[in-house]
A = this chain, B = another copy of it.
Amino acid sequence: MPMNSTAYELLACIRERQPLVHHLTNWVTIYDCAQVVKSLGASPVMAHAREEVTDMAQIASALVLNIGTLTIELVEAMKLAAEAAGQKGIPVILDVCGAGATPLRDQKVLELLDSRRVSIIKGNASEIARVAGARVKTKGVDASEVESDLEELARGLAIERKATVVVTGAQDLVTDGHRFFRVNNGHAIMTAVVGTGCMATSVIGTFAAVEPDLCVAATAALAVYGVAAEVAAQKEIGPSAFKQSLFDSLYSLDQETIEARQSIER
C-alpha cells in the first residue's frame, strides 16, 4: 500500500490522540456509531441542536453526517454543522443513507452537497449511483443492484463534488476522482446486521480526523474495519453475536493482525 502512513499507524495515532468525532446521525444506529468510535480509542459526541452544532465544531476533529432518519430540521442543523466544520478546516463525512428511496432524501443530499462542505461522500452502490445521477431504484436503506459502471459513476461524482467518494460492498471502492483504492476486507455476515454501514462511516470519520489525505484515511479505515470484521466472524456465527465481537475485535486489534490480513488494491 503506497501510502505515507499504514493503516495500523493511523489506528495507533487515533488511540494516542483520541480525537473528538462529532455526529449528527440517525436514531437507529446512533449508539453503534458512538461505540465504534469509542472502540477505536477516539471520543464520539452526538449533538444535533441547531444552537450548539457550531460550537461543537470548534472542539471536534471531524464531522459525521448520516441522513438515515432525516427530518428537515435535522438537515438544517447538519448544514450549520458542516459550515462550521468547513470554516475550521475539519473533514465532513456524509453517509447518503437511503438516497433514492424517497424524493426528500434525494433533495436533501443535493442540498448538503451544494453547501460545498462535504469532504467524503459515502454510500452503497445504489445510493452512490443515485447521487451520481444514474437511474437506480433504491429499496429502503439496503443496497440494490446497479447496472451502470460504478467506477465511472464514482469518479464523476468525486470530480463534480471535489470530494472523496466511498462505495461500500463486497469490495469497497475509494476515489478522489484520480486515484482509486479497493479494499477486499470484510465479511458477508455484515449485511445481516443493522448498522454496519453507518458504523463504517463513523470509522472513516475517525480516521479522517487524523489523516488529511482523505483517500488514504478512508482506505485505511475500511481495511481496519474489515479486518476487525473478519476476526470477529472467526469466533461467532449469528449476526448479533458477530456485532458484539466486531466492537471488541476493533478495540483489541493489533499491528500484526492488521498487516497480515489487510487487502488493499490500487
Contact = CB atoms under 8 A, between A and B. Distances in A.
A71 B59 contact: no
A217 B38 CA distance: 30
Contacts of A239: 38-39, 247-248, 251
A136 to B, nearest CB: 13
Interface stretch (A112-120, A139-147, A179-187): A139-147
A110 interface: no
A22 B142 CA distance: 13
B244 A35 contact: no
Contacts of A161: none
A250 to B, nearest CB: 9
A48 to B, nearest CB: 6
A248 B244 contact: no
Nearest to A246: B240
A64 B264 CA distance: 42
Interface string A34-64: 1100110001111111011001100110000
A70 B38 CA distance: 21
A212 interface: no
A89 interface: no
A72 interface: yes
Given A51-B104, A247-B238, A46 B59 contact: no
A31 B102 contact: no
A49 B240 contact: no
A20 B140 CA distance: 7
Nearest to A56: B102
Interface in A98-145: 98, 101-105, 139-142
A8 to B, nearest CB: 19
Contacts of A45: 98, 101, 140-141
What are the nearest 8 A-B pairs in CB distance? A238-B248, A45-B140, A240-B247, A52-B104, A55-B102, A52-B102, A34-B194, A49-B71
13 contacts: A27-B46, A28-B30, A38-B193, A39-B192, A43-B139, A43-B141, A49-B104, A52-B102, A52-B104, A55-B102, A238-B248, A240-B247, A240-B248
